[in-house]
Amino acid sequence: MEIRFLGHSAFELTHDGVTVLIDPFLTGNPKAAASAEEVAADAILVTHGHGDHIGDTVAIAKRTGAAVLAIVEIAEELRADGVENVRDPNLGGTVSFEWGSAKLVPAWHTSTTPKGTVNTPAGLIVVLGGSTIYHLGDTALFGDLELIGRRHAIDVALMPIGGHYTMDRHDAVEAARMIGARKVIPCHYDTFPAIVTDAAAFQADVENSTASEVIVLAPGERHAL
Ligand code: NI
Ligand code: MN
């Protein structure tokens, strides 16, 4: 299984010819490592409706025919926008695909789509190729991260560290401790001036105080599990 960081909060997971995109905000993303016209997708998973997450979901889904998973209120908007293969769980729900599964878990944040649909933000637990990936979405630090880490053996946590709109790199150290993932990949930082932070300091702090290994990926870089 391979993880490619596409910039900001966007990731591409690939295994055995299957491509899963998470939060494909590429158009208008100053750190985008690929364009919406070139990425492949069998499935697109959306943590919440903010523009920097729902991003190019509709265009990529229409071009590729990818299945799209998002919380029910966003799912309804996607259907209305002409996306044909939509999966619409709510928090706590797990959806099975031919390639694996995706589950929505709580995240503390707010969310309205660019079109005005109010929705509850989420994190995603994705199982692909025998690995469990936890994308935290745009959450603040909260106590149930520990519960999520206890319930799921997380191989890789994709974790926001930029602050301002999400938890910052200091809160994220505590989040990493609570989740207990084998590996942590930071995201949602350095895209815009408000979320510039020191990823190397985050890496040092996590590795000095938890058992997790931190993998800092530049946009476009891959990590193989
Ligand atoms: Ni957001
Ligand atoms: Mn965001």
Query: How confident is the model at residue 222, as a pLDDT?
Result: 98
Query: How confident is the model at residue 214, as a pLDDT?
Result: 98
Summarised one tens digit per residue, pLDDT across range 114-160 is 999 999 999 999 999 999 999 999 999 999 999 999 999 999 999 99
Query: How confident is the model at residue 98, as a pLDDT?
Result: 97
Question: Separation of 16 CA from ligand 1 center, angstroms?
Answer: 31
Question: Separation of 49 CA from ligand 1 center, angstroms?
Answer: 7
Summarised one tens digit per residue, pLDDT across range 166-175 is 999 999 999 9
Neighbours of ion ligand 2 (CB under 5 A): 52, 138
Task: Please tell me the distance from the alpha carbon of residue 153 to that of residue 64, in angstroms, as a whole number.
Answer: 31
Question: Separation of 144 CA from ligand 2 center, angstroms?
Answer: 20
Nearest ligand to the C-alpha atom of residue 122: 1
Question: Separation of 122 CA from ligand 1 center, angstroms?
Answer: 10
Question: Separation of 109 CA from ligand 1 center, angstroms?
Answer: 7
Question: Separation of 32 CA from ligand 2 center, angstroms?
Answer: 14
Nearest ligand to the C-alpha atom of residue 9: 2
Question: Separation of 80 CA from ligand 2 center, angstroms?
Answer: 23
Question: Separation of 58 CA from ligand 1 center, angstroms?
Answer: 18
Nearest ligand to the C-alpha atom of residue 49: 1
Sole residue written with tokens 């995240």: 107
Question: Separation of 158 CA from ligand 1 center, angstroms?
Answer: 15
Task: Please tell me the distance from the alpha carbon of residue 125 to that of residue 155, in angstroms, as a whole number.
Answer: 11
Query: How confident is the model at residue 179, as a pLDDT?
Result: 98
148: left (phi over 0), alpha (psi -120 to 50) or beta: alpha
Query: How confident is the model at residue 119, as a pLDDT?
Result: 98
Question: Separation of 164 CA from ligand 1 center, angstroms?
Answer: 11
Question: Separation of 149 CA from ligand 1 center, angstroms?
Answer: 22
Cβ pair 78, 45 in contact under 8 A: no
Summarised one tens digit per residue, pLDDT across range 42-95 is 999 999 999 999 999 999 999 999 999 999 999 999 999 999 999 999 999 999
Summarised one tens digit per residue, pLDDT across range 22-41 is 999 999 999 999 999 999 99
Q: What is the pTM assigned to this prediction?
A: 0.97
Query: How confident is the model at residue 199, as a pLDDT?
Result: 98
Question: Separation of 185 CA from ligand 1 center, angstroms?
Answer: 18
Task: Please tell me the distance from the alpha carbon of residue 127 to that of residue 124, in angstroms, as a whole number.
Answer: 10
Query: How confident is the model at residue 186, as a pLDDT?
Result: 98
- Per CATH, domain 2-218 is 3.60.15.10: yes
